[in-house]
């Protein structure tokens, strides 16, 4: 049996939280309970000339009994994880599977054929993809810089990275980067072995910085975060295990769907002046509470 039990000890904060039941691919830390969900960046439609459209192969369509969730996939961050999600989704592997573990203010987990947190697919495990090499060809916008590095947005994903100037000193013309776990980030579930991800994944319900660099982020909820928030929550005493869970009725990449049924999603381009204006508004509104998670570019469904 695969034991998805995890222990997260945060020595800097003096916190240690253990997940004591099977089915725990990620453990909620004390710091997670105080997370402040960021408000929506923009409620108005995105101008077509200030946006780009997500490729069908990079759009995961998750239909649930509560509604539809559209997840953008970014293979630049985690190519093997994205390929695994695409493969299983287009096989129909995820159809009918439960959201077996949902923790309020933290995350919703699914993808287990057993529904216990101990199951997986028949494919080999996927290694952890906790960082990647970012190039100049990426659609990237710097949001903040500090001694800890540069934080910004690449496409629709929040990152921490070395600055572009570092690229000239590297033979491959690239620099180190890793994805950050803001609200709505999709991540690969695993057990205590960092290379044990397989079929299970989770969608975050709040900023979850304790996962940064230790779990693989492979995408972001672009449409339908309210559906994720509406999923049945498991009791804290049971580590979020849901006894009468909501289910995924069908999961496919948009590319695998008949063209007439495919949804289409566009994302505000972080290189466009419209995004710069939105970012300035968010900084002013959030003040000292502003974080990289407030900088996520808005997205909207334009068809489907």
pLDDT of 291 reads: 95
Average pLDDT for the chain: 87
How many helices (DSSP H) and strands (DSSP E) are in the chain? 3, 18
Domain of 77 in residue numbering reads as 55-298
Residue 21 in this model has a pLDDT that exceeds 60? no
In this structure, is residue 84 part of a structural domain? yes
CA 227 to chain centre: 15
| 66's tokens | 């509560």
Residue 150 within a domain: yes
Q: Are 302 and 47 in contact (CB under 8 A)?
A: no
The CATH number given to whatever domain includes residue 143 is 2.40.100.10
Q: What pLDDT score was predicted for residue 163?
A: 84
Identify the pLDDT of residue 44: 57
Separation of alpha carbons 136 and 78, rounded Å:
18
Asked if 27 contacts 106 with a C-beta cutoff of 8 angstroms, the reply is no
- Identify whether 20 is part of a domain: no
Is position 28 within any domain?
no
Q: Is residue 162 part of a domain?
A: yes
- Is residue 270 domain-resident? yes
**Per-residue DSSP letter, 77:** T
Query: How many other CB atoms sit within 10 Å of the CB of residue 84?
Result: 22
Residue 239 within any structural domain of the chain: yes
Q: Which residues pair with 252 in a beta bridge?
A: 61
Cα dihedral value 197, 239, 13, 7, nearest 10:
-40
Encode pLDDT of 166-204 as tens digits: 889 999 999 999 999 999 999 999 999 999 999 999 999
Q: Give the number of domains in the chain.
A: 1
DSSP-derived 3-state class of residue 274: helix
Could you write out the DSSP letters of every residue in 107-170?
A: EEEE--TTSSS----SSPPB-----EEE-TTS-EEEEEEETTEEEEEETTEEEEE--GGGGGGS
- From the list 205, 150, 161, the residue with the least C-alpha distance to 38 is 205
Residue 260, in any domain of the structure: yes
Q: What spatial distance separates the first Cα and last Cα of the chain, rounded to whole Å?
A: 40
Residue with tokens 């409620």: 43
CB 178 within 8 A of CB 165: no
The pLDDT assigned to 274 comes to 95
More confident site: 92 or 18: 92
Q: Is residue 68 scored above 90 in pLDDT? A: yes
């Amino acid at each position: 049996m695969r034991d998805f039990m995890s222990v997260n000890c945060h020595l800097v904060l003096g916190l240690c939280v253990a997940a004591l039941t099977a089915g725990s691919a990620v453990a909620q830390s004390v710091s997670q309970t105080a997370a402040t969900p960021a408000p929506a960046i923009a409620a108005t439609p995105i101008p077509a000339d200030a946006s780009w459209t997500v490729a069908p192969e990079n759009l995961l369509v998750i239909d649930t009994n509560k509604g539809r969730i559209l997840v953008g996939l970014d293979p630049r961050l985690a190519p093997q994880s994205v390929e695994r999600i695409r493969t299983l989704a287009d096989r129909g592997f995820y159809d009918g599977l439960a959201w077996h573990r949902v923790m309020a203010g933290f995350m919703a987990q699914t993808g287990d054929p057993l529904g216990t947190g101990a199951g997986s697919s028949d494919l080999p495990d996927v290694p952890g993809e906790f960082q990647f090499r970012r190039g100049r060809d990426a659609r990237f916008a710097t949001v903040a810089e500090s001694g800890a590095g540069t934080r910004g947005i690449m496409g629709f994903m929040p990152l921490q990275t070395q600055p572009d100037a570092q690229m000239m000193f590297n033979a491959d013309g690239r620099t180190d980067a890793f994805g950050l776990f803001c609200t709505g980030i999709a991540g690969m579930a695993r057990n205590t072995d960092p290379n044990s991800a397989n079929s299970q994944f989770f969608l975050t319900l709040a900023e979850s910085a304790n996962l940064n660099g230790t779990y693989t982020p492979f995408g972001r909820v672009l449409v339908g975060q309210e559906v994720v928030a509406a999923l049945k929550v498991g009791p804290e005493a049971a580590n979020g295990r849901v006894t009468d869970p909501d289910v995924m009725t069908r999961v496919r990449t948009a590319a695998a769907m008949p063209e007439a049924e495919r949804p289409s999603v566009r994302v505000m381009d972080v290189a466009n002046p419209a995004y710069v204006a939105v970012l300035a508004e968010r900084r002013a509104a959030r003040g000292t509470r502003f974080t990289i998670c407030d900088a996520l570019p808005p997205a909207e469904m334009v068809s489907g």
